[in-house]
Each structure stands twice: as C-alpha cells, then as structure tokens.
Amino acid sequence: MKLSRFLHLWLSVPFGVLIVLICFSGATLVFEKEITEALHPELYKVTSSGAPRPLSEIVPAALASLPDSARAAGVEVSAAADRPYKVNIAGKGRRAVLVDQYTGRVLGESVRPPFFKAMHSLHGSLMFGRPAEGAVAWGPLIVGTTTLVLLIVLITGLVLWWPRSRRSRRRAFRIPVRKGAFPFWFALHDAGGMYVSLFLMAMCVTGLTWSFDWFSKGYYALLGASGGENVKTTSAAPRKEVDYALWDKELEQVRRMVPEQTLTVAEGEVKASLGAFGNARAADVYKFELGTDVMTGADRYSESPRRVKVSGWTGSLHNGSWGGLPMRIIYMLAALAGAILPLTGYYLWLHRLRRRV
C-alpha cells in the first residue's frame, strides 16, 4: 500500500501535465474524420446521381489536378452512394483526391485541418520536430515514457481505491455533489478514475506497442503473435503505364461478390473492408494477375496470420473503433477523464500541502 501510494503520487506530480496533453489530444482525435467531413461537406458528400463514371476516367482526372510526378496508389469506392470516390496518392502521408463519381468532377484534395495536424503532432511527439537521421526522437520517447508512467499510475490508483470493507465498498462508487469542494474533487479523482481506468489502460498498453520495441515484442509474444516485424499488406509494384480500365473490370467482379462492402482497388488487387465493428483493418483481399482481369485467388482475413489480426485489433483497441460509435464515445469521454484526473490530483495534493503548513 505504501509503495503504491508513493509511486502514484511521485510519478503523477512530474508527469501530470504531459498526461493531460496526451490524453486531451487523443480525445480530440477520436472523431477527427466526422468533424473534418462536417466542416467540408462539399468534399465528402456528393449530390449527383446516375451511373458512376469508370475509373479509367476518374483516376486520370484526379491525377491531372496534381503535379506530373503524382501517381495513384488505389481508389476507395464506398458502399454508400453519396460518398465520393477517393483516389489515394502514392508516397508518404495520406494524400488523396476526392472525385464525384457521377460527373467526374474533382472535388478537391483530402487535407487534414491544421487543428488536427497539431493534435496528431501533440499526441505522438509533443510537437517535437522530426529528428535528424540517427538522432534520438525525443518527442516519441517522452510520449512513450509518459504512457508507461500513466499505466503504472492507473494500476497503483486501482490498488489504492480498492474497497477493504462493506462500508467503504458502498462509498467507493459514489461522487457526492453536496458535501463541499474537497469531498467532490476527491471522489471525482478516486471513483471517476476507477470508472475509466480499464479504458485508459487499454489505450496505454496498445499505445506502448508503437513506443518501445521491447514492449512490442513482449506484447506480441504474449498474444502468440511473435515472429518478425508487424506484417503489412502491400500491393504489387505498379507498372509505368497502368491500365485503369482493368481496375474497372476487377472492381466489377468483386462488387458482384460483395455488393455492400467498401472496396479499394489497386494494381493487382481489390480489398474488401469487412465492416466497422471489431478489427477496423479487417479485409478480404482479392488477387488478380497483373496485366489481366483474371482473379487468381483471395487472401481471406479469417485465414490471415495471427500477427496481422493482433496488429489490427491493437489499433482498434487503441482508438475505440472496435465497438462502433457507442464505444468511440466512451473512449473520447475516457480520454477526457484521463486529462482531468491529473488536474484533480494536483488539487488534492496542493490542498493537503496547505493543511500541513
């Protein structure tokens, strides 16, 4: 108990402000996609109707709006008829051009708003710049260390909160609002932290897999998914001249098989997303012989290596996408609570220091 109290306090005091920043920025990112689309409906919603234009028209139109060196990495075709086609651009970053599939009109480039750029940088590296090659990446290192500290603080907090009698058990879950400031803030920190601790611990554990190699190796080994680096599915290397008419034929073949799934067409493959619940990255990948529209087989998600599944689930558990909209709301509130807990902790600590003076 004394060790838990010591660690809980003296890890929280120096790292509390960093925990606030990381949790708050994470909370803002939960609904980044929805907020961005609400701010720019002219980019993300089409009002035209009719028969969609072929990809052999849409992709060249999208590339014509970019420098000559740009090339398409694939096209995302949503199952929703009112969402534009998204032409993903090859290279670093997540550049994409949105096109009205019914008129062929280029709606614009999908760009992350400045606020969310700042929140991503704050959440991942505390807005430290990209380090020079071979230099220490201080931002991600501090974020990873703070995340590890938060995990220890949450565990010790649960140890301190754990009720040890029937009377204390009745009080442990309550947050009184009419007994004065100190009892309210104490219960908000104590019981409030208990309510969100499991969600915050899930965010910490999954986040640490990207922060430290030693943690990642242990995490995947514990889940029986060790062996090599994280597996990433990659498309076949594109030829200099891509026949986008073949993409149309491949898309049509897969669309007949899975008419209600979002499809992403790329050179030699069509990826079919399996839905919004569970592993958000889950997809079946239909393979085609390069230069033809002959389907050579399919890589089923159900038959994927365990590491691929664990990697996808790790991302979904980190951002709450595994449970759809209700779980993402819970995650956002839990992350906001994670930003508030250090502030209430500082209040309680300073209040006790004043009483001792």
Domain with 295 in it: 49-102+232-304
Could you tell me if residue 109 is inside a domain? no
Residue % of the chain over a pLDDT of 70: 96
This model's pTM is above 0.85:
yes
Tell me: do 205 and 130 sit in the same domain.
Answer: yes
Could you tell me if residue 292 is inside a domain? yes
H or E element that contains 186 = helix 181-211
DSSP for 10-48, please give it.
HHHHHHHHHHHHHHHHHHHHTTHHHHHHHH-HHHH----
Tell me: do 212 and 247 sit in the same domain.
Answer: no
Could you tell me if residue 194 is inside a domain? yes
Could you tell me if residue 165 is inside a domain? yes
Tell me: do 166 and 26 sit in the same domain.
Answer: yes
pLDDT digits (tens, 9 = 90+) for 124-133: 999 998 888 8
Kindly state the average pLDDT of the residues 68-77: 91
Which of 33-42, 65-74, 255-264 shows the lowest mean pLDDT across its residues? 65-74
Tell me: do 150 and 266 sit in the same domain.
Answer: no
Q: Given pLDDT bands bounded at 50, 70 and 90, which one contains residue 197?
A: very high
> Is the confidence at residue 237, as pLDDT, over 70?
no
In the beta sheet, which residues pair with residue 75?
87, 265
Tell me: do 330 and 293 sit in the same domain.
Answer: no
> Is the confidence at residue 337, as pLDDT, over 80?
yes
Could you tell me if residue 43 is inside a domain? no
Number of domains in the chain: 2
* pLDDT of amino acid 240: 57
Tell me: do 97 and 70 sit in the same domain.
Answer: yes
* pLDDT of amino acid 138: 95
Could you tell me if residue 313 is inside a domain? no
Tell me: do 144 and 86 sit in the same domain.
Answer: no
Q: Given pLDDT bands bounded at 50, 70 and 90, which one contains residue 172?
A: confident
For 198-203, which contacts have Cβ atoms below 8 Å and span 24 or more sequence positions? 199/320, 199/330, 199/331, 199/334, 200/23, 200/150, 200/154, 200/334, 200/335, 200/337, 200/338, 201/151, 201/154, 201/155, 202/317, 202/318, 203/26, 203/317, 203/318, 203/331, 203/334, 203/335, 203/338
Kindly state the average pLDDT of the residues 182-206: 94
Tell me: do 53 and 134 sit in the same domain.
Answer: no
Q: Given pLDDT bands bounded at 50, 70 and 90, which one contains residue 69?
A: confident
Kindly state the average pLDDT of the residues 286-291: 94
Tell me: do 78 and 212 sit in the same domain.
Answer: no
Tell me: do 338 and 213 sit in the same domain.
Answer: yes
